[in-house]
Amino acid sequence: MAIRAHKLTQAVAAGSAGSAVATVTSNIISGLIHAIYVAQAGTPAATTDITISIVTPALAVLTLTNVTSSGWYYPRVLGDGSTGADLTGWYDRQPVDGYMTAAIAQGDPAQTLDVTIFVEA
């Protein structure tokens, strides 16, 4: 299996200071999410929230609150047993097969967001 990098580039926030927003949508992504690199530029507000989601079915994969710096993230999902109950301490990579979005909320005008999603295809 190969690891592929999918780039969601240049979401530029627009609006008032502390409430600017932006969204960027990927091409179709298929596979298991290994890692996500979030790169911010400009001057992010201390209130900046970033959400990276699968479009359908709607699912937030990574939610960052009050984040002002760039960084690596390794989101995982809690596994379920045969009865549908959560398995204690068992986490795995999130599958995806469709579009993903990266969104800024509560940002500052002109701050930018680039996201790279690393997927095992």
Q: Count CB-CB contacts under 10 A for residue 8.
A: 23
User: What does pTM read for this prediction?
Assistant: 0.92
Distance CA 104, CA 13 (A): 7
Task: Classify residue 89 by burial, with Cβ atoms within 10 Å: 0-12, 13-18, 19+.
Answer: exposed
3-class SS of residue 59: strand
- In the DSSP assignment, the letter for residue 85 is P
Residue 41: partners with Cβ closer than 8 Å, 6 or more residues away: 111, 112, 114
pLDDT digits (tens, 9 = 90+) for 63-121: 999 999 999 999 999 999 999 999 999 999 999 999 999 999 999 999 999 999 999 98
Q: Give the residue extent of every domain in the chain.
A: 3-75+93-120
pLDDT digits (tens, 9 = 90+) for 9-52: 989 999 999 999 999 999 999 999 999 999 999 989 999 999 99
Q: Are 112 and 13 in contact (CB under 8 A)?
A: yes
Give 3-75+93-120's CATH code, choosing from 1.10.287.110, 3.40.630.10, 2.60.15.10, 2.60.120.380.
Answer: 2.60.120.380
Residue with tokens 């047993």: 81
Distance CA 117, CA 112 (A): 17
